[in-house]
Structure 1
């Protein structure tokens, strides 16, 4: 029998490189999705309801890792800890760990940790999986956990930054519509007159609606608590706007978000008021 043809080394290298690019693409998309999920979740918006282009999830990781010096340092620390946890997990599930070269006190401590009952159960379960697959699963789990933490942390941090007026990067918004189309808003001819609510109906919390009446326009009278309306996002004929929070706002505070529908030439209003987290 003639020997089976061997693939040239260049083909194997290209195949491995293509596989690596595919895996990196999955990780990049994952951290981008987590970032978007955390960012818009801060404003109580479901990510699945927004029509975001898929390529945007691949660009976001640049901000998560290289946004500034401190973000890069945090990402570097996270990568270092991930590698350390991967090696620690390998040691925990190893049937014969090498601890003989350690000092006596350190060796006894490592033996106690290694023989901990819960770790024994984990080790027994791990032995049911082939070793090569077992190691790959551990690596993937720890990488995904690290990426999830980085994406969520940065998403919430950026959302809070944009929610606070002094640090917000969201544009100031002005929305003009016919007075019979929107129950909220000021009359252009006299901003001190409340809009007529005749023939308007409401479902839900009346206080949310009342809290916004009289604050529909930007007001810099009080420098400590200015009212500045900003655009969060436009998606699927919906415009999401919110009044930015003052500089002394706590991280667990959330601004109300107004979702205004412009479809079919009409205007519908939805007030989304995330609860203040405890």
Structure 2
């Protein structure tokens, strides 16, 4: 929900906790790279070496028993071939090491960025710490299906059809107005994003870090006919 997003520097060194998290990620990544390369070099290569020896023995026996066969010359050339002296195979070995390092590094960066983005989203979702602007939308009553009338806030909007979860809509009825009269459960509508002629608004969560909570997001069409008013403000108005 963050309007600024998560910068690479912020994800790695944006706070003391992020620095500690980055240091731990570096240690775990280095350990994972070491173990992965060890698995490739020892168990995997040992298994391939054992398999090669098992295949090599019957091939050599065939070549000795049939020295004049045209296939025997090819078998002897294959058995005597030293792969460690072949530059292409050495290149593939180096490439494998680089691929392992890059994959683990990208994995670590992905998780660090995801954790920081999740933290930023919760900061903007909670009313007490949110940096998103508070929004007020004024529009004709026949153009929006959710809202309160200026002259009679008690009247629910009517004359609309609905598809989907009716409870989601009914939970918002009567809660369209920002209300900070109760400090324990304030209701403040904030602007999440404004893009491509639509703006997305949501009621900020109370100052409780309950990760099971998820605020509803309302998408509204931004009219270009001058019949709609949108007011943005950093703080809420005083009651």
Do they superpose with TM above 0.5? yes
Given the alignment of the two structures, is residue 80 of structure 1 paired with residue 41 of structure 2, yes or no? no
Q: How many residue pairs were aligned?
A: 187
**Counterpart pick for 2:190 among 218, 230, 238:** 230
Kept after mapping to 2: 8 A contact 1:194/1:213:
no
Structure 1 residue 255 corresponds to structure 2 residue 215: yes
Contiguous gaps of at least 5 residues in structure 1: 1-38, 41-51, 96-113, 268-278
Aligned residue runs from structure 1 range 175-254, under 5 A? 175-191=137-153, 193-198=154-159, 200-254=160-214
For residues 123-166 of structure 1, the C-alpha deviation after alignment (integer angstroms, 9 at most, x for no partner) is x9xx9x92011111101110111011111111112112211112
The question of whether the paired residues in 2 share the 8 Å contact of 1:229 and 1:241 is answered with: yes
Q: Does 1:64 align with 2:25?
A: no
Q: Which residues in structure 2 correspond to 1:117-196 (within 5 Å)?
A: 130-191=92-153, 193-196=154-157
Structure 2 SS opposite 1:93: helix
Q: State the secondary structure of the residue aligned to 1:203.
A: coil
User: Relative contact order, CA 8 A, sep 6+: which one is greater?
Assistant: 2
Q: Which runs of 4+ in 1 moved over 4 A?
A: 263-267
* Counterparts in 2 of 1:263 and 1:132: CA distance versus 1, 3 Å: farther
C-alpha contact (below 8 Å) 1:239/1:260 kept by paired residues: yes
- 2:202 is paired with a residue whose SS is strand
TM-score (norm 2): 0.69
TM score, norm. by length of structure 1:
0.60
Q: CA deviation at 1:248?
A: 2.5
Change in 2 beyond 3 A, CA 1:263/1:186 = closer
Alignment of 1:26-41 (within 5 A): none
**Aligned partner of residue 135 in structure 2, secondary structure:** coil
Unpaired segments ≥5 residues, structure 2: 52-88, 229-239
Offset at 1:75?
A: 1.5
CA positional deviation for 1:202: 1.1
The change in CA–CA distance for 1:155 and 1:139 in structure 2 (over 3 A counts) is same
Q: Secondary structure at the match of 1:130?
A: helix
Alignment RMSD? 2.9
Query: Deviation string for 1:57-86 (max 9, x for gaps)?
Result: 7x7212212221211221122122212211
